[in-house]
Amino acid sequence: MVFIMTKTYSGFIAIIGPTNAGKSTLINQIMERKVSIVSHKVQTTRTRLRAIKMVGNIQLVFVDTPGVFKPNRRLDRAMVGAAMSALDDADAVLLVVDAQKGITQTVRDLIVKIKNHKNLFVALNKVDAVAKENLLPMVAELSNMADFCEIFMISALKNDGVKQMLKSLADVMPESPYLFETKDSVDVPDMLYLAELTREKVYKYIHQELPYHINVVTEKVDTDPEGALEIYQKIDVQSEAHKKIGVARGGAQLKKIGTAARHDIQDQWGVNARLHLFVRVEENWENTAENYIDQGLEFK
């Protein structure tokens, strides 16, 4: 009997770019479900998650990274460090550029750092919001800045151009045993994923009043006799003033956040859930190593 071995291909693709370029929206579109939180507030993605996408018999492992910006705080430095370290083991790099903002200095600085990568791609995102005559000069300028394999013009929000982009990325994946199970999935701890869904809702409802200095931690998850999840989370803030904003109007604000997060959790996991939220003042949470380790960040 003759056995024919089918070749398999698998590799890592680092998604990198400035804050609010649409990286999280793109990864959610690729996976056809929410895996990364989305907010109009910049610098919302903190963790480095891996999303596994099968394109035929080729396995793409996307590493969604925090946006790159000028770091000022310890948390900022850890987030930017996580983004840049994702390049080390990447088989391809996908630079996401917001076409509405154009080629900013942050984009230029990023290209200088990544231009020697052998499989370098650009996703010029949000092109649906930019006049066509303004796009070609951007493409020409980008082409002169590095030896890109391809520059895609996409709209992550509308799923335009994403399918062709996936095919091109799949073409450069190395021959390799599959690194994960051969199904579309996300490699992120459940407790962290639950916390991220709630943090997204915090930014959604009180983004104007509350700064970035918040942290959400899933402390415990139990299952009741009917199979419903009992989820206990704390929202860390840095002052009593921030706590008042988070609770607000006799607890109505916290209830709104909890209800929205619970619905999201139920939609994503297909189970009934009860979410118990508590706001606590922890002035020094940004300087506590455990909070970084829980999010897959390096504490320096």
List pLDDT tens digits, range 38-70: 554 444 444 567 889 999 999 999 987 764 434
Residues 180-232 pLDDT 10s: 889 888 877 788 888 888 988 888 887 665 555 678 888 999 998 888 999 99
DSSP E strand stretches across the chain:
9-16, 49-55, 58-64, 92-98, 120-125, 150-153, 185-187, 215-223, 229-237, 273-281
- Alpha-helical runs (H) found in 115-206: 132-145, 162-170, 190-206
Task: Say what the pLDDT of residue 86 is.
Answer: 59
Residue 151 has pLDDT above 90, yes or no: yes
Q: Is the model more confident about 110 or about 37?
A: 110
Residues 254-264 pLDDT 10s: 888 999 999 99
- The strand pairing partners of 175, in sequence order, are 9
Q: Is the model more confident about 165 or about 7?
A: 165
Domain boundaries, the chain: 9-185, 189-294
Are the C-beta atoms of residues 246 and 206 closer than 8 Å to each other? yes
Per-residue pLDDT band for 141 (boundaries 50, 70, 90) equals very high
Q: Is the model more confident about 244 or about 202?
A: 202
Calculate the alpha carbon distances from 186 to 34, 67, 134, 180, 269 in Å: 10, 19, 36, 10, 13
- Summarize the confidence of residues 79-107 as an average pLDDT: 80
d(CA 71, CA 41): 16
- Summarize the confidence of residues 141-145 as an average pLDDT: 96
Question: Class for domain 189-294, per CATH?
Answer: alpha beta
Task: Say what the pLDDT of residue 269 is.
Answer: 83
Per-residue pLDDT band for 284 (boundaries 50, 70, 90) equals low
Backbone angles phi, psi at 67, to 5 degrees: -65, 155
Q: Which superfamily, per CATH, for 9-185?
A: P-loop containing nucleotide triphosphate hydrolases (3.40.50.300)
